[in-house]
Structure 1
Amino acid sequence: DLVEIVPEPVAKWQDIGPDHFNILDAFYAEPHRYAYTFQNYVFVTRVMQERESSGGIKPLRLMERSVFSDRMVFVRAVHEANWMNEMEISIYDSWFDPVVSSLPGLIPDGFIYLRASPDTCHKRMMLRKRAEEGGVTLDYLQGLHEKHESWLLPSKGGGTGVLSVSQLPTHLEGSLPPAIRDRVFYLEGDHMHSSIQKVPALVLDCEPDIDFNKDIEAKRQYAQQVAEFFQFVKKKKEAPSEQTSTDKNRINPQIMLPHKGGLWVPDGRNPFSGSAMNLNFRRAMSSYLST
């Protein structure tokens, strides 16, 4: 009752415009043609989804993936596969950073990594039977897995991952419940977006095949770990000493974004005296965790 589950906006990807264009299917069919267009639209729909879900009364939003999952995993994958060229990746990055920095609702308070092997993910994907995914290969999933690992679970010894993890400060580590104490890390690194430096990540083992409709005890254990992580993130967020310069910089966004009827600014200011639609993002934000 305390958690609002926000799944990926797949339906929006499958039905665009009056012609009901399925860009998810087009991407898998012609990745060279549609990789940039698809990733661009994925970002737009995540912004729309954040706006639509942020006004709920529940204190916790659990969103399936985030814009950082897109940038650190999926955009890297299509770029390395040469489906997105250097010009397109430069364009993507040119708007990604300023938009994310101007929209605090896109920045999770914590990440939850549902960790499973590529083989297991492939089997579950086949069982899901989503029509567009019929041609997705195990090799493609292997690449996505490696990028998730290098982002969310690289070697604590300073391995070759894009990012690194560090142990929590003593005063925070002591506040972690024993059940998740060895599963929570800080994300950090030179390649990390400044908005999520030192954001905690919980790693959950999702390799076993569990029917949560039948295995009530397993369901309870997973739910307890997520609940304990949420309480830890909430406590960390409320601690005055944990406020960073990044948090303070979010107060005055300096970007205008297109919107039906005109332009809007994330803090609600109307840049013109015309009929531009305004949104006010200076409201109390619910805690947001991303998987």
Structure 2
Amino acid sequence: MSAFYRFALLSRVCNFKTETGLIHVGSMAVNPGRLSLTCRRCLSGSAVDGPARVKRVSIEGNIAVGKSTFARLLQSACPDWEVMAEPVSKWQNIESGTKKGKDDAPQTTVSNLLQMMYQDPKRWSYTFQTYSCMSRLRTQLQPPPARLLSSEGTPVQVYERSVYSDRYIFALNMFELDCINPTEWTVYQDWHSLLVEQFGHQVELEGIIYLRAPPEGTDLFSIRLTRQQAKSTSFHDALLAYRLHQLLIVYNLDRLKKCMERLVHRGRSEEEGVKLDYLEKLHVQHEKWLVEKSTELHFEKLKQIPVLQLDASVEFQSDPDVREQFITKVTNFFSAL
């Protein structure tokens, strides 16, 4: 947390008087040793020792994997958890300034950038990823609500996706699909790194919850034998491996199709043209970053961040036992951060 941000936060509730060594809260002078728990939380990270600041965690996962449903579950599960929704409405309603109509009266044009990106990704992907990242940045820079600052439990601010998935999932995917050209990709990475480094702790995450569509421990698309393995494998074993490979493909695609079903069910008009192949590519990006750890990252803390994996293919919305299991895992995860 920057010094300026801490000062702005503290100035709302406390006035300091260093000459006497007393801290003035409202009109009352208080000895620092007798501060209330609430005030000590406000002063966390300042001259008075106190509990750790509010923890920040993001929910990551594929399109229509169930993030919003899961976020609502978290919001209702604990008063110490505050969920910040993905700013989709901002992308759908961009006021493009004013222009004169036929009657010479100024008019405001409202653009749906999300729809524009899906309809013409080569033209609009860079523009969309720029705006989506900026809107995520604004969300992550918002100060925690007062009830979290005064919490006696484990206060956590939870974000639907983050500035990091914007870069390492969606923008990277568009670059690999040639919807963002090399020059645009270089520019995007440059300003993204600059902003994240400048804001520092204000946008850092303590943990990530990964809602994962396919089953644990299986490669989504293929199980390939190496040449050495193939030479030492009998025909029977090779045939068995091939059949297993086919079953896993069908099994995993069925799991990914749940994302497609949820996508269709929520009826977001911009996503009508989204294909299963696109979801598959996004899944691979998530796996590389959060499971295989093979994505090239540019922020040291992000390389070491704890990740909680949850199987999003189960119907946690309608199964109270699964919901309880999820909440227990999340509670333990938050406590360990």
TM-score band w.r.t. shorter chain: 0.5 to 0.7
2:121 paired with 1:31: yes
The answer on whether the counterparts of 1:114 and 1:203 sit within 8 Å (CA) in structure 2 is yes
- After the TM superposition, which residues 201-212 of structure 1 pair with which residues of structure 2 at under 5 Å, given as runs? 201-212=307-318
When normalised by structure 2's length, the TM-score is 0.57
2:140 paired with 1:65: no
**Counterpart residue type for residue 50 of structure 1:** Q
State which of 88, 112, 115 in structure 1 corresponds to 2:212. Answer: 115
The answer on whether the counterparts of 2:126 and 2:184 sit within 8 Å (CA) in structure 1 is yes
Report the Cα distance in structure 2 between the residues aligned to 1:52 and 1:21, rounded to whole angstroms.
Answer: 25
Partner of 2:321: helix, strand, or coil? helix
Report the Cα distance in structure 2 between the residues aligned to 1:64 and 1:102, rounded to whole angstroms.
Answer: 22
**Counterpart residue type for residue 139 of structure 2:** Q
**Counterpart residue type for residue 305 of structure 2:** V
2:87 paired with 1:9: yes
Give the structure with the larger helix fraction: 2
Runs (5+) with no aligned partner, structure 2: 1-78, 96-107, 149-154, 215-255
The answer on whether the counterparts of 2:130 and 2:188 sit within 8 Å (CA) in structure 1 is yes
Change beyond 3 A, Cα 1:196–1:35: same
Who is 2:132 aligned against? 42
The answer on whether the counterparts of 1:101 and 1:195 sit within 8 Å (CA) in structure 2 is no
**Counterpart residue type for residue 26 of structure 1:** M
The answer on whether the counterparts of 1:28 and 1:135 sit within 8 Å (CA) in structure 2 is yes
Who is 1:249 aligned against? none
Who is 1:221 aligned against? 325
**Counterpart residue type for residue 336 of structure 2:** F
Identity %: 34
Shift of 1:55: 4.2
Partner of 1:19: helix, strand, or coil? strand
Who is 1:162 aligned against? 294
Runs (5+) with no aligned partner, structure 1: 155-160, 164-189, 234-291
The answer on whether the counterparts of 1:27 and 1:35 sit within 8 Å (CA) in structure 2 is yes
**Counterpart residue type for residue 223 of structure 1:** I
Change beyond 3 A, Cα 1:110–1:152: same
Report the Cα distance in structure 1 between the residues aligned to 2:207 and 2:192, rounded to whole angstroms.
Answer: 20
Shift of 1:48: 1.5
- After the TM superposition, which residues 207-286 of structure 1 pair with which residues of structure 2 at under 5 Å, given as runs? 207-212=313-318, 215-233=319-337
Report the Cα distance in structure 2 between the residues aligned to 1:14 and 1:206, rounded to whole angstroms.
Answer: 26
Report the Cα distance in structure 2 between the residues aligned to 1:57 and 1:101, rounded to whole angstroms.
Answer: 29
- After the TM superposition, which residues 144-159 of structure 1 pair with which residues of structure 2 at under 5 Å, given as runs? 144-154=282-292
2:111 paired with 1:21: yes
Shift of 1:53: 5.0
When normalised by structure 1's length, the TM-score is 0.65
Partner of 2:147: helix, strand, or coil? coil
Change beyond 3 A, Cα 1:14–1:147: same
Report the Cα distance in structure 1 between the residues aligned to 2:91 and 2:264, rounded to whole angstroms.
Answer: 20
Who is 1:136 aligned against? 274
**Counterpart residue type for residue 121 of structure 2:** P
